[in-house]
Amino acid sequence: MDFDDTPQEAAWRSEVRSFLERHREELGSRRSDRNADREVARARQATLYDAGFVGVTWPVEAGGRGGTPMQQAIIDQELARLGIPPLVNLIGIGMCGPTVMAHGSDDQKQRYLRRLLRADDIWCQLFSEPAAGSDLAALRTRAVRGADGDWRVNGQKVWTTGAHLSDYGILLTRTDPDVPKHRGLTMFVVDMKTPGVTVRPLRQMSGGAEFNEVFFDDVVIPDAERLGDVGDGWRVALTTLMSERLSLGGGGTDIGIGPEAVARHVADHLDALPPDRQVLARQELGRAYVAALGSRYTGYRQLSKLSRGEFPGPEASAGKLASTRTARDLADLAVRVLGADARVATTRDGSGLWQELQAGLPGMAIAGGTDQVLRNIIGERVLGLPAEPRADKGVTFRESLAAERTKP
Ligand SMILES: Cc1cc2nc3c(=O)[nH]c(=O)nc-3n(C[C@H](O)[C@H](O)[C@H](O)COP(=O)(O)OP(=O)(O)OC[C@H]3O[C@@H](n4cnc5c(N)ncnc54)[C@H](O)[C@@H]3O)c2cc1C
């Protein structure tokens, strides 16, 4: 990969940069606003969308501008450089939108996609459940079709990021328990204001409350809101999961913090440490810095694939695995060097307090595929190692539930 901008990329970067600098006040900084106010966050995304900087790679008919992944990457880099807060509808753009685009009806695409890009509607992803996370296909939320053709949904989701802010969600349900678990699933778009949907925020150790439990009690979903065929929900969900892994681990943007930000901030404090701790901290900083640059360049490699029109395969899992590890190492190091100051010191790019960042990053090792599950994927699908045993292969979901219940 060539790390220098081509003349076209340089022209695009300068257009983006000058727009962002002109609108910097209106767009806010991470320090002043962390998407706490939904309306402020929506307005920020609308400003960027109206300038043509959101959904750049999406087709024009879906509300995008039919641009290249490199153009989008340049926008992301420039937003990060100026410390502008992340878009409020990232899950909508990164996961729900691509799923609607690939599997929705023309009517759904027309109604949802452009509004999603502009944050006129905010979206969430309703997949995980108390008994179904890594083993997502074991989910139990049940959708039953009534005589009128509509569906009635009962069950519970958990860890739903942004459900408390959302207008719509993509909802994976079980419609047939009498076939093997991956085959009896169906995906829907659900209006989060439908009677019977209850959203309860969960408090995290980092202090935030971005996740929720979501309960469905006899929630009616019209059949026109189905995404894909009945029983084909697993295939539809794979579109979401692949888009998620790409948007979390690819593209050469840093997870949470850039190595330069840490290096600069930590370096300022090194001299205050006792000499023996200084030596160790310098060594750790060097190691973590190099690893972080390595994962950034791994991201660029994926970006190169995308810009050649290729789709990154299971190796996207390696990018997410590596960038999560290095971000955690950098934040741990910063907190150890800063000591008690980490409770009040803000990261240089203003993305938050060091201690909050350190407490929040372990979540990245779980979201979008845990580290262990990603290692399984790399082992089986990249390295060709033998697959792990799957006890529920070939049995229906109902049978595997019954076997679960009779376990000693
Ligand atoms: C920051 C964050 C945001 C999230 N946002 C959303 C969201 O918006 N929507 C949504 O639906 N969900 C969301 N989730 C939930 C997330 O998808 C699940 O937490 C994740 O899939 C893991 O599932 P689990 O928590 O049930 O853990 P489990 O699957 O129960 O795993 C428990 C432990 O067992 C290990 N393990 C499980 N299976 C295997 C295996 N086969 N081999 C080896 N080890 C294994 C795991 O690695 C883990 O250490 C989010 C989670 C986080 C942390």
The residue whose CA is least distant from atom 26 of ligand 1 is 133
Q: Where are the domains of the chain?
A: 7-88, 123-236, 250-382
Write out the two tokens for 50. Answer: 């109206």
Q: Whose CA is nearest to atom 15 of ligand 1?
A: 159
Token code pair at residue 29: 């900084």
**Residues 234, 391: Cα–Cα separation, whole Å:** 19
CA distance 342 to 353: 7
Tokens 């006792």, residue? 274
- What is the residue with the minimal CA distance to atom 30 of ligand 1? 133
Tell which CATH classification among 1.20.140.10, 2.40.50.140, 1.20.1560.10, 2.60.120.260 matches the domain 250-382: 1.20.140.10
The two tokens of residue 205 are: 């150790």
pTM of the model: 0.89
Q: 153: burial class by Cβ within 10 Å (0-12, 13-18, 19+)?
A: buried
Contacts of 284 (CB under 8 A, 6+ apart): 329, 333
Give CA separation, 62 vs 65, 71, 112, 114, 384, in Å. 9, 17, 9, 6, 38
Q: Which residue has the tokens 């937003």?
A: 79
C-alpha to C-alpha distance for 401 and 169, rounded to whole angstroms: 27
Q: Which atom of ligand 1 is nearest to the CA of 363?
A: 53
Q: How much is the pLDDT for 317?
A: 79
Report the separation in Å between the CA atom of 133 and the middle of ligand 1, taken as the mean of its atom positions.
4
- What whole-number distance in Å separates Cα of residue 246 and Cα of residue 16? 23
Contacts (Cβ under 8 Å, ≥6 apart) of 383: none
For residue 31, the model assigns a pLDDT of 52
pLDDT of residue 394: 82
> How far is C-alpha 274 from the chain's CA centre?
40
Q: How far is the CA of 293 from the centre of ligand 1 (A)?
A: 27
Rg (CA), the chain: 22
* CA 84 to centroid of ligand 1, rounded, Å: 29
C-beta of residue 114 within 8 angstroms of C-beta of residue 64: no
Relative to the CA of 366, which ligand 1 atom is closest?
A: 53
Q: CA torsion angle for 241, 247, 251, 255 (degrees, to 10)?
A: -120
Structure tokens at 120: 């006129």
Q: Rounded to whole angstroms, how far apart are CA atoms 83 and 137?
A: 38
Identify the pLDDT of residue 337: 82
Burial of 384 (0-12, 13-18, 19+ CB in 10 A): exposed
Which residue out of 127, 213, 370 has the highest number of ligand 1 atoms within 8 Å of its CB and is therefore the one to mutate?
Answer: 370
On whether the 123-236 domain is CATH 2.60.220.30, my answer is: no
Residue position matching structure tokens 């970067």: 13
Same fold, 7-88 and 123-236: no
Other beta carbons within 10 angstroms of residue 297's beta carbon come to 13
**Which atom of ligand 1 is least distant from the CA of 370?**
47
244 is catalytic: yes
Side chain identity at 375, as an amino acid letter?
R
Candidate list 129, 210, 225, 244, residue with the active-site label: 244
Pick the CATH number of 7-88 from 3.30.70.260, 3.90.79.10, 1.10.540.10, 2.60.260.40: 1.10.540.10
Residue (of 258, 257, 383, 361) closest to 317 by Cα position: 383
Which atom of ligand 1 is closest in space to residue 130's alpha carbon?
A: 26
Q: By alpha-carbon position, which residue is closest to atom 52 of ligand 1?
A: 367
User: What whole-number distance in Å separates Cα of residue 281 and Cα of residue 273?
Assistant: 9
Which tokens go with 272?
């205050």
Q: What is the pLDDT along the chain (408 residues), one digit of tens a residue?
A: 556 778 988 999 999 999 999 999 888 865 554 456 788 889 999 999 999 999 998 999 999 999 988 888 889 889 888 878 888 999 999 999 999 999 999 999 999 999 999 999 999 999 999 999 999 999 999 999 999 999 999 999 999 999 999 999 999 999 999 999 999 999 999 999 999 999 999 987 767 778 899 999 999 999 999 999 999 999 999 999 877 766 654 444 555 556 666 666 677 778 878 888 888 888 888 888 888 888 777 777 777 776 666 766 776 778 888 888 888 888 888 888 888 777 776 665 555 677 777 888 888 899 888 999 999 989 998 899 999 888 888 899 999 988 887 776
Q: What angle do CA 312, 313, 317 make, to 5 degrees?
A: 95
The DSSP 8-state label assigned to residue 105 in this structure reads -
Q: What residues flank ligand 1, with Cβ below 6 Å?
A: 91, 124-128, 133-134, 159-161, 363, 366-367, 370, 372-373, 376
Q: Choose one of 203, 240, 373 to mutate for the ligand 1 pocket test, by most ligand atoms within 8 angstroms of C-beta.
A: 373
